[in-house]
Amino acid sequence: MLHLCSFILRPLCLLVCCLLLVSCQPQQQAQLRIGTNLWPGYEPLYIARDHRVFQGLDVQLIEYRAAGQVINGLRKGTINMAAVTLDEAVRIAASGIPVEVIWLFNISDGADQLLVRPGINNISELKGKRIGVESNALGAYLLQRFFSQHQLSAADYQVVGLDLAAHAQAMANAEVDAVMTFEPEKSKMLRLGAKALFTSREVPGEVMDVLIVRKDGPDVPTEAQLQQFIRQYHQLFSQIEADLPAWYDALNKRMKLSPAELAQTYSELQIPSVAMQRTILSNKTRLAEVIKGYETVLLQIGMIEKPCPCSTLINTTYLETLP
């Protein structure tokens, strides 16, 4: 009987010891894989990476050509964080992917523009023409807002799906007559004589670029990781926000605009301090109005099938702990 007990107990003891050893091992942290496309408001992320401000975290910035690819990367799980516009965050949440907003990069105050080729001088002359737009991202929303603001019918225009990287070339080749666009493609077309008929300044406070985190999946960042990330990023961001012109060279590393173009671009963006971010993202009444406006347009153009379950979309927890 003693030998039988020993035969049974020894494996049990070994199993218990193994479980205890495993439980004592530190949990492997998730890699923070942040998807972005090329946009002036996201460039401080790359400066932070190049300055190695992220310590004790595995942060990878994944560069995509277009915002639509960023959204697809989040859906597929290739990335678990993303830099997107707030309307895109609403669209993602409405599709059933649980995400939350934890940072506000900027508010577009004219940086997104509907540019027309030389020879088109006003909105009436644009009727019946071809408008290029990144159809699965912000561009589609802004184009609809352009139609709405000026009491126009989308049926009177030829809307052409066009990735951002092809905007300037398509305009130069006369493949389109207008594009809803932004930097660095915007300046390329302005050099060729294009002019703006509509900008995000006509819809104030609607175009916000934010950082979102996916809240489900096998590698969800922990609250501690996100707090550490925001704290470390803020250390450099606060320096950039306090004296933007001093950082122009670093901000222009990837965009490669002329000094005048770069200064103009950042004059068309509001880069909010942490205090301003807290004020904007804590204003639930105003945000509910903005999100409702997104939903109305996105439902109208068929980009979402149902309203967004957005009651927990905004999370200011991490901002609240910053000085």
Tell me how far apart the alpha carbons of residues 185 and 158 are, in angstroms, rounded to a whole number: 21
Give the chain's length: 323
pLDDT computed for residue 28 by the predictor: 67
pLDDT computed for residue 26 by the predictor: 44
75 and 117 both lie in a single domain: no
Tell me how far apart the alpha carbons of residues 321 and 238 are, in angstroms, rounded to a whole number: 15
Asked whether residue 7 is domain-assigned, the answer is no
* Residues of the chain above pLDDT 90, percent: 87
With a cut of 50, say whether residue 310 has pLDDT above it: yes
Three-state SS sequence of 167-185: HHHHHHCCCCCEEEECCCH
User: Which of 183, 202, 221 is where one domain is finished?
Assistant: 202
- Name residue 58's beta-bridge partners: none
The alpha carbon of residue 256 and the mean position of all alpha carbons in its chain are separated, in whole angstroms, by: 21
The alpha carbon of residue 128 and the mean position of all alpha carbons in its chain are separated, in whole angstroms, by: 32
Tell me how far apart the alpha carbons of residues 229 and 8 are, in angstroms, rounded to a whole number: 49
86 and 182 both lie in a single domain: no
254 and 161 both lie in a single domain: no
Helix (H) or strand (E) segment spanning residue 165: none
Asked whether residue 24 is domain-assigned, the answer is no
Asked whether residue 55 is domain-assigned, the answer is yes
CATH number, domain with residue 244: 3.40.190.10
Asked whether residue 84 is domain-assigned, the answer is yes
Task: State both tokens at 215.
Answer: 């809240």
Residues spanned by the domain of 293: 32-107+207-320
pLDDT computed for residue 27 by the predictor: 52
Asked whether residue 26 is domain-assigned, the answer is no
157 and 211 both lie in a single domain: no
Note the pLDDT tens digit of each residue in 14-45: 444 444 443 444 456 889 999 999 999 999 99
Task: State both tokens at 211.
Answer: 């950082």
- Cβ neighbours of residue 185 closer than 8 Å, sequence gap 6 or more: 164, 165, 167, 168, 179
Q: First and final CA of the chain: distance in angstroms?
A: 68
Domain count, the chain: 2
User: Which of 202, 224, 258 is where one domain is finished?
Assistant: 202
118 and 56 both lie in a single domain: no
Note the pLDDT tens digit of each residue in 197-240: 999 999 999 999 999 999 998 899 999 999 999 999 999 999 99
Tell me how far apart the alpha carbons of residues 141 and 135 are, in angstroms, rounded to a whole number: 9
67 and 40 both lie in a single domain: yes
77 and 120 both lie in a single domain: no
84 and 157 both lie in a single domain: no
Asked whether residue 22 is domain-assigned, the answer is no
How far, CA to CA in Å, does 131 sit from each of 65, 187, 303, 308? 20, 18, 18, 28
User: Which of 140, 167, 202 is where one domain is finished?
Assistant: 202
Q: In what order do the strands lie in the sheet with 99-108?
A: 59-63, 32-36, 81-85, 208-214, 99-108, 269-270
Nearest C-alpha neighbor of 63 from the set 96, 31, 102, 35: 35
pLDDT computed for residue 21 by the predictor: 42
103 and 241 both lie in a single domain: yes
pLDDT computed for residue 223 by the predictor: 96
Is the Cα dihedral 294, 295, 300, 306 positive or negative?
Answer: positive
78 and 141 both lie in a single domain: no
Asked whether residue 8 is domain-assigned, the answer is no
- Cβ neighbours of residue 44 closer than 8 Å, sequence gap 6 or more: 105, 233, 236, 237, 240, 251
231 and 165 both lie in a single domain: no
Q: What number is the average pLDDT over the span 86-92?
A: 96
195 and 267 both lie in a single domain: no
Q: What number is the average pLDDT over the span 47-52?
A: 97
Helices and strands counted in the chain (H then E): 14, 11
- Asked, as a colleague might, if the bond just before 184 is cis with ω within 30 of 0, I would say yes
